[in-house]
Amino acid sequence: MHPILSALKHHKTTVALVVLEIALTCAIVSNALFLIGDRLSNMQLSTGVADNGLVWVSSNSLREGGTPGSAMSLEQADLAALRGMPGVTAALKVNSLPLLNASMWRSGISVQPGLPKATFNNIAMYLGTPGIVGGLGIRLEQGRDFLPQEYADYSPSANQAPPSAVIVTRTLADRLWPGQSALGQPIFMGEKGKYVTRVVGVTTHLLNPTLAGRANSEDNLLLPVRSIPGGMYVLRTEPSVRDAILRDIPTVLDRVDNDRIITGSNSYARTVSDYFHDDRALIWLLLVVIGCLLALTALGVVGLSSFWVQQRTHQIGIRRAIGATRRDILRYFQAENFLIVSGGIALGLLLAVALNLLLMKQYELPRLPLAYLPVAALVLWSLGQLAVLGPALRAAAVPPVVATRLV
C-alpha cells in the first residue's frame, strides 16, 4: 500500500482531477438511479381497474334546447347501441377514469354531522351508471356492489342529496375511520354536512384521475347514479376485437344521432400508458445520461492509466528485473485504481447526499434512500477495475530487459 501512495503523491493534480470526476459521476449516477426507481414505482401503481379489453369514448351532443330527460334518453339509446356491438360485454357511463389525466369534481366530506367545515377535503368523486363495479372490474375487499335501487339522479355540482350508498377505497376508509370497519359508516357532504350517504363497500385499489405526488392518490368515492351529463362511455370488450370496436364506435354512435362531436376515444390500456409517457421519457433520458457518464469516466481512467503505464515503463522494467512477477505489476495498477476510485466514491457519496438535499428543496423529491449509495459505489468500483484492466495488462507485459535500456 505504501509505495502506491507515495507514487500517487507525485501526481497530486492528476489524481485529484480523477477523484473529482469519479465523485461527480457517483453523485449524479446515484441520484439518477434513485429518480428512475422513484418513477418506476409510480408506474407500477395498480389503477384498480381491469384494463384488459376496456375502451372509452366521450361524445358531446350538439342538440341544444334539450331537457335533462332528452339527454338521458339519448344516453340510454347510445348505451343500447354500444351494447349491441358484437364483442361488447358491458357498456356504461362514468364521469372519469383512473389516470385519465383530466380534472374531475372534488369535494369536502366529514364523518360527523353538522360540522361547519368539511374535515377531509379534495376527495375525488367517481360517478357510475348501473354495472359500474363489474364493468370496470373493480375489486371489492369488503361489502357489496350497489343494488339496482341505489342508482339515483345526482349531480355533484348541484348541491343536492347524494345517492344513499357509496363505495370508498381501502386507503380512504383507513383515513376516515382508523381501526374501525368502514361498512355502514355515514359520510356527510354538502354545506355544513347536511347530506348523508353510507358506505356499502370498500375497494382494494382505485387510483384518482390524476396523481399529484404519491400522497392521497387513492382518496376517492364511488357513487351510483342513473345518468351523467357529459361524462364518457366505457365498454368492456373481448380483448381480441378491442381495436375493431374502437374503430367502429363513431359509426355506431352516429347511427343513433349524428349531430354530435366525438371528443375522444381510446383503449384504457393506452390511456394509462400515455399517462406515464413523461415518466418513461425521463427514465430513458436518465439511462442515456448514466450510460454516457459511465462511458466517459471509464475512458478518462483508461487514458490516464495508459499515460502512467507509458511513463513508468522504465520503473516497471526495474521492478520486473529485481524479481516482481507479472501478477505483482498487474496487482499494483489494480490496487492503485481501487484506491483512487475509493477516494472518488467517498467524496461522491457526500456530493450525492448534498445533491439530493438540493433536489428535495427545489423539486419536492423524496429523500435518497441510503441503499442506493452502495449500488452506485459498486458500479464505479467495477467500472474502474474494468477500465484499468487493459493498461494494467500492458504494464504487466513490459519485459524486465527494459530496465537495461536507456529511454
Partner 1 sequence: MFGYYFDLAWRSLRCNPVLTALMVLAIGLGIGASMTMITVLHVMSGDPLPGRSAQLFYPQLDPRGMEDYGQGEDPPGQMAWIDAMNLLHARKGVHQAAMSGGQVTVRPVQGGKRAFYSDARFTTADFFAMFDVPFAQGGGWSAEDDDKQARVIVIAKTLADKLYGERQAVGKILRLGQNDFRIVGVIKPWSPIPHFYDLTSGGYQDGEQVFMPLSTALALHQGIGGSLECWGYMSFDHLDRKTAPCSWLQFWVQLDTPAQQQAYREFLVSYSQQQKMLGRFVRPPNTRLHNLMGWLDYNKVVPGSVQLQTLLALGFLLVCLVNTVALLLVKFLRRGGEMGVRRAMGASMRSIFAQLLAEATLVGLCGGVVGVLLALFGLWVVRQQPAQYAGLAHLDAPMLYATFALALCTTVLAAMFPAWRACRLPPARALKIQ
Smallest distance from partner 1 to CB 358, Å = 9
Binding mask 124-163 for partner 1 (x = CB under 8 A): -------------------------------x-xxxx---
**One of 2, 117, 361, 405 touching partner 1 (CB under 8 A):** 117
Q: How far is Cα 233 from Cα 220, in angstroms, rounded to an integer?
A: 20
Nearer to partner 1, 145 or 274 (CB): 274
289 counts as binding partner 1 under rule CB under 8 A: yes
- Tell me how far, at minimum, the Cβ of 347 lies from partner 1, in Å: 12
Contact with partner 1 (CB under 8 A): which of 304, 345, 349, 368?
A: 304
The DSSP secondary structure of 196-209, one letter per residue, reads EEEEEEEES----S
* Among 16, 25, 20, 8, residue whose Cα is nearest residue 335: 8
Q: 61 - beta bridge partners?
A: 260
Check binding of 7 to partner 1 (CB under 8 A).
Answer: no
Which three-class secondary structure state does DSSP give residue 168? strand
Minimum Å gap between C-beta 363 and partner 1 is 5
Give the residue carrying C-alpha cell 374501525.
Answer: 180
- State which residue, 202 or 398, has the beta carbon closest to partner 1: 398
Give yes or no for residue 109 binding partner 1 (CB under 8 A).
Answer: no
Cβ 203 to partner 1 shortest distance, Å: 27
Q: Which residue has the cell 381501502?
A: 170
Positive or negative, the CA dihedral 18, 22, 25, 31 is: negative
List the one residue from 297, 376, 380, 392 that touches partner 1 (CB under 8 A).
Answer: 297
Helices (H) and strands (E) in the chain, counts: 11, 11
DSSP secondary structure of 232-246: EEEEEE-GGGHHHHH
Answer whether 104's CB lies under 8 Å from 125's CB.
yes
Q: Please give the radius of gyration of the chain, using alpha carbons only, rounded to the nearest integer.
A: 32
For 2, half-sphere exposure in the C-beta direction (CA atoms, 13 angstrom radius) is 0
- Enter the C-alpha cell of residue 244: 375493431
Q: How far is the CB of 382 from partner 1 (least distance, A)?
A: 19
How far apart (Å, rounded) are the C-alpha atoms in residues 123 and 144?
21
Minimal distance in Å, beta carbon 54 to partner 1?
22
Q: Is 362 in the site for partner 1 (CB under 8 A)?
A: yes
Does position 389 bind partner 1 by CB under 8 A? no
Show the cell assigned to 370. Answer: 441510503
CB of 187 to partner 1, least distance (A): 17
Q: Which of 150, 248, 257, 274 binds partner 1 (CB under 8 A)?
A: 274
Q: Which residues bind partner 1 (CB under 8 A)?
A: 13-14, 17-18, 20-21, 24-25, 27-28, 32, 62, 64-65, 117, 155, 157-160, 190-191, 259, 261, 263, 274, 277-278, 281-282, 285-286, 289, 292-293, 296-297, 299-300, 303-304, 307, 310-311, 355, 359, 362-364, 407
